[in-house]
């Protein structure tokens, strides 16, 4: 049974952890202790979703021995020794949880609950020139600690300061402000912790010259002609994801070099962990081409000076750009840097900004503990086959499309479900994203048969992910019927979705892919049409569908000839019948019932009769499945020396000759 105090610890951790007003990138720390044990949030664990299993349980008797132990004077060796002693202090020697580097600091504070946060409004004060003066005026009983390198050095500094505080007041401080870092609040109940934090926020906010209001701004359409190029420029060693964001706060800092200077260096260790310590600014230009050329030149100079490509770019008129090995890492960088912008904005009320020094920055950049935390929080420890790739799947809400989406996502791709079925698409997206992976799924409503809808689909994908590597033209409809039954309206509709829809997908996707190739001629992209066995052989009383699929293979071969010079491979996958999917099995409008009504299977009296008939046509004795399709999809993606093919996946029902 979980102790009530641990339930309280989980409650207050989530209370603050779910809000970016208090913590960013899963940061912050919380703990509870009694005489024997200390429960503290483990490294790499997010406060917002933590439960009791996310806390490392420490033996306080062993932690106390560390307080007076002499460690190496060499910083790297010292941190290794401290880390080893922390691991040895775990109550469960078999635990795989990594104790927070702040464990000793939490242990010495003389209250049961300790909550350490990095609220932007508090750091607006802590990262300002007048921080000590204003803090002493607003919070005379708080302990103020000048900036000290994190880790054991910070523990020793706070330990000494707490002892001095006790000598003066005969009790421990309940509020500890850490310059250019954050704030600790401690008390014996979580209600008192909340009350103290509320008092801190209200007093600081009352001293602000102006309240901060952030309103979203649209990302300009022209960015779709810039960001894919930028993505390729920085994808020299591995494929990157580039995410752009635009709002009034961001616009405040991209107006000119002077405004950018107010956010051109880090304020806190967390900013260095997730964004590094140098950021790129582009003053823009009169056209996307001018901006791209300017960024290319700036990136080259940045790389030469810093030895790495930036994680953060600010482009005048366009927004804030995050660059990462995954969608998660790029988005985290954006969150953290936007927090830096908030801090900078708040510092105006307290004498202006005070950035970290070059020595302080260097320590964090090389600190192993923070490098580990960066990897855990941004998810850069895991790589899959499709990691970093960006894929659109039209008709991705149901049937083969849904299976393709799940498979691509499972292999690390960022995916877009493009469909007209909004309810089912959102349900699938939510399910995929619920696993907390490094990649992302998103729904964009789109009609494959409408050219403007497909153009918008591609544009929104680029704005969300930064580019496009795989277009899967899967959306299709089928209406069975002979010549006497088929109306011109139905024929045109089937052709518009199945044939013209593929053209729309190839047209708008290839424009982005060509731009990417222009800036990285080693990068390959793919356009894949999910065709059908009906594209390889005529289909009785199914001519509208078969005709569109036959035409699709002609498009594939023609597109392949045109696009291969740009490393864009174009192939069709021709699956057999997906009997398990709604296209066939829907009881009201599936193909089994349609074919039964149309009399396509002589002598068939029931749906089961129709199904058995079609299964008997397959040498493998069953219908095609998603896993069969995906083997062919991954093959044509991986194969760099093949294009323009129609790959049958029919269980032997269709054999090439």
Active site residues: 545
Distance CA 281, CA 295 (A): 9
Query: Which residues partner with 649 through β-bridges?
Result: 575
Burial 248-282, CB ≥16 within 10 A → b, else e: ebbbbbbeeeebbebbbbbbbbbbbbbbbbbbbbb
Which phi and psi angles does 102 have, rounded to 5°? -90, 10
**Angle at alpha carbon of residue 70, lines to 65 and 75, rounded to 5°:** 120
* Bridge partners of residue 419, in order along the sequence: 445
Question: Among 220, 590, 126, which Cα is nearest to 399's?
Answer: 590
Rounded Cα gap, residues 6 and 9, in angstroms: 5
Task: Give the integer Cα–Cα distance in Å for 255 and 534.
Answer: 57
Q: Which helix (H) or strand (E) holds 55?
A: strand 55-59
Neighbours of 92 (CB within 10 A): 11
> How many CA atoms does the CB half-sphere of 570 hold within 13 Å?
25
Distance CA 41, CA 29 (A): 6
Q: State whether residue 549 is helix, strand or coil.
A: helix
From 378, 229, 219, select the one nearest 299 (Cα to Cα): 229
The candidate with the shortest Cα–Cα distance to 595, out of 540, 524, 652, 537, is 540
Sort 366 into a burial class: Cβ within 10 Å, 0-12 / 13-18 / 19+.
Answer: exposed
From CA 545, how far away is CA 591, in angstroms rounded?
12
Q: What is the CA radius of gyration of the chain?
A: 30
Residue 385, CA distances (Å) to 94, 239, 506 in order: 32, 12, 24
Question: For the CA atoms of 629, 635, 636, 638, what is the dihedral angle to 10 degrees?
Answer: 140
The neighbouring-strand residues paired with 247 are 216
CA distances from 155 to 107, 110, 236 (A): 10, 14, 40
Residue 133 parent element (H or E): helix 131-138
- Cα–Cα distance between 52 and 34 in angstroms, integer? 16
Which residues lie closer than 8 Å to 590 by C-beta, 6 or more apart? 582, 583, 584
């Amino acid at each position: 049974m979980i102790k009530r105090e641990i339930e309280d610890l989980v409650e207050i951790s989530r209370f603050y952890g779910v809000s970016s007003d208090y913590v960013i990138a899963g940061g912050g720390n919380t703990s509870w202790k009694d005489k024997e044990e200390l429960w503290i949030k483990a490294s790499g664990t997010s406060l917002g979703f933590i439960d009791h299993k996310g806390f490392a349980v420490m033996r306080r008797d062993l932690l106390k021995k560390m307080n007076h132990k002499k460690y190496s004077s060499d910083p790297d060796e010292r941190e290794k020794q401290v880390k080893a002693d922390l691991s040895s202090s775990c109550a469960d020697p078999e635990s795989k949880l990594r104790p927070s580097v702040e464990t000793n600091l939490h242990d010495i504070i003389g209250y049961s609950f300790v909550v350490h946060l990095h609220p932007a409004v508090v750091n607006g004060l802590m990262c300002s020139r007048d921080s000590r003066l204003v803090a002493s005026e607003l919070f005379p009983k708080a302990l103020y600690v000048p900036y000290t390198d994190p880790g054991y050095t910070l523990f020793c500094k706070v330990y000494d300061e707490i002892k001095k505080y006790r000598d003066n007041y005969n009790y421990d401080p309940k509020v500890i402000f850490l310059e250019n870092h954050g704030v600790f609040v401690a008390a014996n109940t979580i209600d008192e912790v909340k009350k103290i934090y509320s008092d801190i926020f209200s007093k600081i906010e009352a001293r602000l010259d102006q309240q901060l209001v952030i309103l979203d701004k649209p990302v300009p359409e022209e960015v779709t002609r810039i960001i894919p190029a930028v993505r390729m420029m920085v994808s020299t060693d591995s494929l990157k994801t580039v995410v752009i964001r635009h709002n009034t706060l961001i616009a405040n800092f991209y107006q000119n070099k002077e405004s950018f200077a107010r956010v051109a260096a880090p304020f806190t260790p967390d900013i260095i962990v997730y964004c590094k310590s140098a950021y790129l600014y582009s003053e823009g230009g009169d056209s996307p081409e001018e901006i791209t050329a300017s960024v290319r030149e700036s990136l080259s100079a940045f790389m030469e000076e810093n030895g790495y490509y930036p994680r953060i770019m600010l482009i005048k008129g366009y927004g804030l750009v995050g660059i990462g090995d995954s969608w998660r890492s790029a988005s985290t960088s954006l969150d953290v840097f936007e927090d830096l912008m908030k801090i900078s904005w708040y510092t105006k009320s307290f004498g202006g900004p005070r950035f970290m020094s070059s020595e302080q920055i260097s320590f964090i950049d090389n600190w192993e503990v923070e490098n580990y935390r960066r990897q855990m929080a941004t998810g850069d420890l895991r790589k899959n086959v499709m990691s970093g790739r960006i894929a659109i799947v039209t008709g991705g809400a149901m049937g083969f499309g849904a299976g393709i989406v799940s498979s691509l996502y499972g292999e690390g791709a960022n995916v877009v479900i493009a469909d007209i079925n909004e309810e089912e698409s959102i349900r699938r997206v939510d399910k995929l994203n619920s696993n907390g992976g490094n990649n992302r799924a998103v729904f964009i409503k789109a009609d494959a048969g409408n050219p403007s809808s497909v153009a918008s689909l591609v544009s929104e994908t680029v704005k969300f992910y930064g580019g496009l590597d795989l277009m899967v033209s899967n959306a299709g409809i089928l209406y069975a019927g002979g010549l006497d039954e088929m109306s011109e309206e139905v024929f045109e509709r089937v052709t518009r979705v199945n044939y013209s829809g593929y053209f729309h997908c190839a047209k708008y996707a290839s424009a982005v892919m060509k731009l990417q190739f222009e800036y990285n001629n080693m990068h390959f992209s793919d356009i894949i049409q999910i065709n059908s066995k009906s594209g390889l052989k005529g289909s009785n009383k199914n001519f509208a569908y078969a005709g569109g699929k036959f035409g699709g293979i002609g498009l594939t071969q023609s597109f392949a000839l045109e696009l291969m010079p740009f490393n864009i491979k174009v192939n069709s996958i021709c699956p057999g019948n997906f009997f398990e999917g709604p296209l066939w099995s829907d009881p009201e409008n599936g193909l089994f019932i349609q074919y039964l009504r149309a009399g396509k299977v002589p002598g068939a009296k029931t749906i089961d009769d129709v199904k058995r008939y079609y299964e008997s046509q397959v040498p493998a004795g069953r219908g095609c499945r998603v896993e069969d399709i995906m083997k062919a999809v991954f093959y044509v993606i991986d194969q760099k020396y093949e294009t323009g093919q129609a790959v049958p996946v029919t269980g032997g029902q269709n054999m090439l000759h």
